[in-house]
Structure 1
């Protein structure tokens, strides 16, 4: 179960409790993710149980549900509010002006989160760039259908970005991982107060390196989200070329996007909770098996000592 590679000469200060396997895998992190299955990297079936001190890096049910509710609120704000604003403004302004104004709230959310949290949200940045492109497009082009197509182009760009992360591209000794892995890891970092963020990230690197089902889960989740976002682009293109009224295109395309996001969000939370349940069950079975083996080893050792003592008495 333990990697036979020698322990690093100076363990990191953030992971003083890491075993040989954990310290080797987690310290090298993403650079070792592509070498799973090599002699120096333990496979799934050789690492039956996650070290106890890493358990706090696994998100709790409460943090998972909280993340889902937070995502739902953002979805309501970023999808429902623009639709309400559009139809409220549509009675007084042209479609293109109504569409531009309806895109202001999501753009403001991106700016406020960036200033408040001092970090760049990749998907939020794409939304902000899309809003800027919308304003520029409104200045040079008055066709509302072209504007709607631009919105779908940004959604498809997000979908393509997710699909690209499924390929283990290497850059400067780092290997790209599925997008949903980074999202889930950030949830774990935010929901863990007992450990510093860097330690949680190292633990998640260890999970990725050593657990086959862990990698398969996030690859599948990322693929589903990527396909869902790309499907919105195809649906909107079909609507643009088959429906004449811009209001109807706006209504049906946003309803479809809302439905897709809600279904994918529900599926994500349900599958995450199920995976966490199966993970806990596997940990309990592994722990029980390990305890049984330890007891059997103690009994065998006691029998061996009794046998040796009996031989000594017979010799005397």
Structure 2
């Protein structure tokens, strides 16, 4: 959601793996299991194990299970138990809406911290510009308003996305929901990204961050620094 990325292979591959394990694989596995004759609840629970396994793999690899990881595993477990106890597959379908809603609430909560989430994401993506970004944050009220506004945009956008997921989970045929749910991730992300980039351009925030450099073009940097690449 920030205007630039460092272009680091590890970051890119981490994002790709997350999308594959948490979105693509569960959807594909669900329909494979259904085609093999598995019931709705069985297919949903088994396909939902992909994000859980990804979370556990990351915890073992990094020797740390963070709060988000614990929450992910807990929600998957609760939705699985709830589906089994009620024999209602829609409980498992609605869990993605809960994930998204809590993410949206968390973004909005960061408005009351020292730095809103979108600005924190920007700093993470541009570690070589931390000093310059902090100077802008401390001295430029318009710069601060942009990032607070973008945090509101993403927080509210995720809450709307979550509401749509719950509505879809309880109105569409069960076998239709996983595909539509996966497509909604792409639609929501692209829409929010487009609005974000328009805001950054129209408010000249990109110019403040990159100066006369054109986002999207590799720039040379002195040895020992990493000025990154905008995208």
> Do both proteins adopt the same fold according to a TM-score greater than 0.5, normalized to the shorter chain?
yes
Take 2:163 and 2:67, find their aligned partners in 1: how far apart are those partners?
Answer: 23
Take 2:16 and 2:195, find their aligned partners in 1: how far apart are those partners?
Answer: 13
Take 2:107 and 2:187, find their aligned partners in 1: how far apart are those partners?
Answer: 19
Take 1:205 and 1:140, find their aligned partners in 2: how far apart are those partners?
Answer: 51
Q: CA 1:64/1:162 → structure 2, altered by over 3 Å: closer, same or farther? A: farther
TM score, norm. by length of structure 1? 0.54
C-alpha displacement of 1:103: 1.8
Tell me the SS of whatever aligns to 2:87. Answer: coil
Take 1:151 and 1:218, find their aligned partners in 2: how far apart are those partners?
Answer: 26
* 2:116 is the alignment partner of 1:178: yes
Take 2:57 and 2:200, find their aligned partners in 1: how far apart are those partners?
Answer: 29
| Structure-1 residue corresponding to 2:126 | 188
Take 2:61 and 2:71, find their aligned partners in 1: how far apart are those partners?
Answer: 18
1:90 touches 1:98 (CA, 8 Å); kept in 2?
A: yes
Unaligned segments of structure 1, at least 5 residues: 1-58, 169-174, 284-316
C-alpha displacement of 1:226: 1.5
Take 2:28 and 2:147, find their aligned partners in 1: how far apart are those partners?
Answer: 34
| Structure-1 residue corresponding to 2:15 | 71
C-alpha displacement of 1:143: 0.1
Instruction: Give the structure with higher Rg (CA).
Output: 1
Q: How large is the RMSD of aligned CA atoms in angstroms?
A: 3.5
* 2:155 is the alignment partner of 1:155: no
2:5 touches 2:126 (CA, 8 Å); kept in 1?
A: no
Unaligned segments of structure 2, at least 5 residues: 214-231
* 2:203 is the alignment partner of 1:259: no
* 2:95 is the alignment partner of 1:95: no
Take 1:118 and 1:182, find their aligned partners in 2: how far apart are those partners?
Answer: 24
Aligned pairs (5 A) from 1:31-42: none
C-alpha displacement of 1:251: 2.3
Take 1:188 and 1:93, find their aligned partners in 2: how far apart are those partners?
Answer: 46
Q: CA 1:109/1:256 → structure 2, altered by over 3 Å: closer, same or farther? A: same
C-alpha displacement of 1:277: 3.3
- What is the number of equivalent residue pairs in this alignment? 208
Take 1:264 and 1:241, find their aligned partners in 2: how far apart are those partners?
Answer: 25
Take 2:89 and 2:148, find their aligned partners in 1: how far apart are those partners?
Answer: 37
Aligned pairs (5 A) from 1:110-149: 110-117=55-62, 123-149=68-94
Q: CA 1:118/1:182 → structure 2, altered by over 3 Å: closer, same or farther? A: farther
Take 2:197 and 2:55, find their aligned partners in 1: how far apart are those partners?
Answer: 23
Take 1:180 and 1:120, find their aligned partners in 2: how far apart are those partners?
Answer: 23
C-alpha displacement of 1:152: 1.3
| Structure-2 residue corresponding to 1:49 | none
Take 1:78 and 1:121, find their aligned partners in 2: how far apart are those partners?
Answer: 17
C-alpha displacement of 1:102: 1.4
Q: CA 1:145/1:60 → structure 2, altered by over 3 Å: closer, same or farther? A: closer
Q: CA 1:62/1:209 → structure 2, altered by over 3 Å: closer, same or farther? A: closer
